[in-house]
Structure 1
Amino acid sequence: MAVHTTDVLVLGAGSAGCVIASRLSEDAATQVALIEAGPAAWRDPWIRIPAGFARLYASGKYDWRFHTEAEPGLDGRSIHWPRGKVVGGSGAVNGLVFLRGSPRDYDRWAQSGARGWGYDDVLPFFKRMETWTGEPSEERGTDGPIHSSEARHTSPGAAAFIAASLAMGHQRVKDFNGAWHEGAGPMPLNTKGGFRSHSGDMFLKPARNRANLRIMPERAIQRLTFEGRRCTGAIVRGPAGLERWEARREVVLSAGAIGTPQILMLSGIGDGAHLQEMGIETYLHAPGVGQNLQDHFLQRMRYRVKPCGTVNESWHNPIGKLRMAARYAFDRRGPMAIGAAEANLFARVLPGAEEPDMQYLFVNFTVTSYDQGPDRHPGFMFSACQCRPDSRGTVTLRSASPDDKPIIRANYLEAAHDRHLMVEGVKYARRLAAQPPLAALIEEELTPGAKVTSDEEILAHIRRDGGTVYHPCGTARMGEDNLAPVDSRLRLKGVTGLCVADASVMPLVPSSNIQPAALMIGERAAAFLRERAA
């Protein structure tokens, strides 16, 4: 078995891992090795083009192809959970929505036991990683690697969505990533000059020729290695067979909300009873590993509309498709410069809500499945998403083999509050669609459909049709209590030399999309690692 040694070993080149490897290798005296199961794919145009996310989803080319078990709350359906298997991770293949969430989300982290992770603590790291090209603000960064801006294209449907939100009394939001985000406006996206701006491309690619940085793609992590109570490295499977990678200083596990708990458990860190059942010797009894799984849940409100410049119309018209491509090629604008959504609304749906409890994302096309592409009729949709779900799931091992995908149970709609809010969220969406700016375009509500009216019927439809917003997190959460596997400085408790830094450490899911939070965690982890090395 080939043996390699470095100062810091980063396991996983996702959103956080790329940030960590880039930042640490800025110090020429620090040797860094970055291990990634997927390919580098530096030049794949479908990663760079924002609208390429749909093609990437349909192809599964850079996807771990995870699925949940049959979900009891969703009529026994198994839900596809795509996760990026490529340098850049899910940030290289997602819909490019760039939302931090509410400042209060991070104050809740601190209140839950993640000390030092309140909004004032994390704001400098949000700013450090970004360049915001919109209206200047004390809340936004101006010289970071990740570029973000409002959507470069606003379709008639998106404009009507924003106008309808204002007609309902919502304010026009200048910056969804500012001090307060309630209201409607164009969606902020992580793009630069019409191209996707992600950590693999913006942090790691400029650093890849550094003499002290080794980027090692197509190497699947098998397990961690230990000497006594110290984590020393990992065994990985590379193109030529097994390799042993050792870290003189620290190992950083950054394999994501699914991969991180799986690797920990395969290495003997997890609930002892579960590990014994799998035939794995318990190295450290840590029953919180794989628990606390959270994800945002959505119901898509799909509409057949009058011709109004939807992607559906262009996609199924050869001339329209050519015009769409030509516009993007000419000035990097138009539908191809947009990711999953053009506009956004954060709204308080339940009486007495202290802040927005639902998010609505406007999408200028309709799909039954991304595998099939846009529908043939003119259409758009907006997704009703619960901001802070109460339901919790688990990630456990299927076997002791690293090749077997873990068992994912999201437990969607397990909590009564989640069921109630989703039903009310659909009814609120209907009130939004009835506002004149949208009503003038809409011909028919396709889902849930006009015949679905009672609360019981709406909930039954949600169980049949609702799904993921692709934001799994929380499976190795930070905290001070005994069930939290990771402390507030991202060190795995009970082991030295092992840092965990990805979406798995989030105690609570942010109230919106989680990519900026994952990047922020990467920045914070790099700072902690530098402090510990000083």
Structure 2
Amino acid sequence: MSSNTYDHIVIGGGTAGCLLANRLSADPSRRVLLIEAGGRDDYLWINIPVGYLYCIGNPRTDWLYKTEPDAGLNGRSLRYPRGRVLGGCSSINGMIYMRGQARDYEQWATLTGAEHWRWDQCLPYFKRHEDHWKGENAFHAAPGFDPKGQRAGGEWRVEKQRLSWEILDAFAQAAQQAGVPATEDFNRGSNEGVGYFEVNQRSGFRWNSAKAFLRPAFARPNLQVWLGATVQRLLLEPQADGGLRAVGVEIIPEQGGEPVQARCTTEMVLTAGAIGTPAILQRSGLGPAQTLQALGINVQQDLPSVGANLQDHLQIRSVYQVSGVKTLNTMAHSLWGKAMMGLEYALKRSGPLSMAPSQLGAFTRSSPQQPHPNVQYHVQPLSLDAFGEPLHRFNAFTASVCNLNPSSRGRVDIASADPKAAPAIRPNYLSTAEDRQVAADSLRLTRRIVSQSALARYQPQEIKPGVQYQSDDDLARLAGDIGTTIFHPVGTCKMGRDDDPTAVVDAQLRFKSVAGLRIADASVMPLITSGNTNSPVLMLAEKAAEWMLQTPLARG
């Protein structure tokens, strides 16, 4: 398209942005622009599942953020990966397909006053893009084929993992002995149970949102994609009623040169994620006035809620050394083991190279007093001191447990008007007594599972945090020492009722104080979902696309 004027501008080519670009451009009368700061998703290690090890911490695919030193983590700062590539975090994440719990969406409906956020009203939007290995049933969808033999719908592939581990099977049996029921499906509204995660892969390759949604739309003449394009700010114009309208964006090209503007006639949508979206808004003068003034940014609206309400899942990693069973630790330190892993993947697309970062999952209660499953396990047949460090040279497994519904709240604020400067990310982990108690209870629960007879033959020995720590205070402090993010930031531009002064968007994801602008990413979640957050973002994007397509075109 020769013009820089579009009906819709999608800001962020990640999980939600790729779906929205597909859905909006499916109407040939709508001119759509998708803007992504990163590049194409053609990097080898994006496609190979275990390649997340080479994508996180890599400037080709990751924004390389870090949190501010956190009191709840005893002063530590954490690496905070966010995807900087087509597909966004779906190009570097753990590939786990997880919707959360039905009660999550019932709470969203209560907080927004909108029935369309209830579980039974969200389920069809999960199914709308799903291509599930089990096929069609009450909870899942398969795409089928149209009369010409072409795939019809169902772009988001969900498959079984292509591996199993003796030590993980034993952990699952131990969890059942400790009272956690077995499950074959975490995605029916109640995810209580233990079993292997389903993953977003196709035939042993990572399946990201760029492959699923954007590639089928690339050839459409009404869709344009700008890569290497960092958004400096939104273009805002005053309206006759005294309000503001979003009418475009200002872009900083990766190759340098003068800023470029793109104009929007109908409606823009921010899909830059829980970190990127509030940063763009704040650079545009929409945020806490004191912060913006200190950075020399002209305040368009004083909105303290932009960047607030940050929630994340903090995982607490317990490591157990075992004997009499193989784990990835010793396989990866053997040349023969590496060769066999590579050969298995080359021939079968299975084995360790097809692994998601976590293979076995469990959802249960951290204590009998909890009314619903409030913790999630990610269990792995490996161990290391910290992400990015070498695997230990002894056989071991890691049982990571996270509080699904943390009461701690943080915030995100820009630290510079420069769009390429990292924002200040302050999660405030373990800042409430409730979260510290769940952390202590979770570590005790892990010990109870590992003490069951199903694991006894492997003689598990607690290496981390260590059996010498027993009291609530000890365990809560240790959680701060060993806890790390599981990469699920949400909530920094939350949706809510019209009379909620802390809500940034309304129940249809429209920016409450700026016309012509929606947000459709994890930042709008008022409460974090009870599980991995990638697929709930796709559901949000499906709803946003439907609402945007109902908006009449407004061309001069």
**2:254 pairs with 1:235:** no
SS across alignment from 1:188: coil
Equivalence for 1:214:
224
TM-score of the two chains, using structure 1 as the length reference: 0.97
Equivalence for 2:284:
267
Alignment of structure 1 residues 172-191 onto 2, 5 Å: 172-191=182-201
Residue in structure 1 matching 2:454, options 437, 451, 456: 437
Equivalence for 2:522:
503
Alignment of structure 1 residues 269-288 onto 2, 5 Å: 269-288=286-305
SS across alignment from 1:523: helix
Residue in structure 2 matching 1:292, options 298, 309, 320: 309
Gaps of 5+ in 1: none
CA distance in 2, matches of 1:284, 1:114: 25
TM-score of the two chains, using structure 2 as the length reference: 0.93
Alignment of structure 1 residues 12-411 onto 2, 5 Å: 12-41=12-41, 43-113=42-112, 115=114, 116-134=116-134, 136-143=136-143, 144-228=154-238, 229-238=244-253, 239-241=255-257, 242-411=259-428
CA distance in 2, matches of 1:106, 1:291: 21
The residue type paired with residue 7 of structure 1 is D
Distance 1:371 1:60, change over 3 A: farther
Does the aligned pair in 2 maintain the 1:350–1:357 contact within 8 Å? no
CA distance in 2, matches of 1:461, 1:520: 36
CA distance in 1, matches of 2:276, 2:415: 13
Residue in structure 2 matching 1:523, options 538, 542, 545: 542
CA distance in 2, matches of 1:190, 1:114: 32
SS across alignment from 2:513: coil
CA distance in 2, matches of 1:279, 1:346: 47
CA distance in 2, matches of 1:136, 1:5: 41
After superposition, give the CA deviation of every residue in 1:259-293 in whole Å (9 maximum; x if it has no partner): 10011011011122332232222212222110000
1:45 is displaced (CA, Å) by 2.1
Q: How many residues were matched structurally?
A: 532
After superposition, give the CA deviation of every residue in 1:71-97 in whole Å (9 maximum; x if it has no partner): 011111111110000000011101111
What do you get for the CA RMSD once the two structures are aligned? 1.5
The residue type paired with residue 516 of structure 1 is S
CA distance in 2, matches of 1:380, 1:91: 26
Alignment of structure 1 residues 422-501 onto 2, 5 Å: 422-480=439-497, 481-501=500-520
After superposition, give the CA deviation of every residue in 1:73-122 in whole Å (9 maximum; x if it has no partner): 11111111100000000111011111111011111111112622111221
1:29 is displaced (CA, Å) by 1.5
**2:523 pairs with 1:513:** no
Does the aligned pair in 2 maintain the 1:392–1:410 contact within 8 Å? yes
CA distance in 2, matches of 1:71, 1:195: 36
1:162 is displaced (CA, Å) by 1.1
SS across alignment from 1:319: helix
CA distance in 1, matches of 2:538, 2:276: 17
SS across alignment from 1:138: coil
1:16 is displaced (CA, Å) by 0.4
Does the aligned pair in 1 maintain the 2:38–2:60 contact within 8 Å? no
CA distance in 1, matches of 2:425, 2:490: 12
The residue type paired with residue 526 of structure 1 is A
CA distance in 2, matches of 1:226, 1:136: 46
After superposition, give the CA deviation of every residue in 1:117-174 in whole Å (9 maximum; x if it has no partner): 1112211111112111136431112221111123221111111111111112222112
Q: Percent identity?
A: 37
Does the aligned pair in 1 maintain the 2:57–2:64 contact within 8 Å? no
Distance 1:60 1:305, change over 3 A: farther
Gaps of 5+ in 2: 144-153, 239-243
User: Mean alpha-carbon deviation: is it higher for 408-417 or for 165-174?
Assistant: 165-174
CA distance in 1, matches of 2:190, 2:56: 32
CA distance in 1, matches of 2:524, 2:488: 13
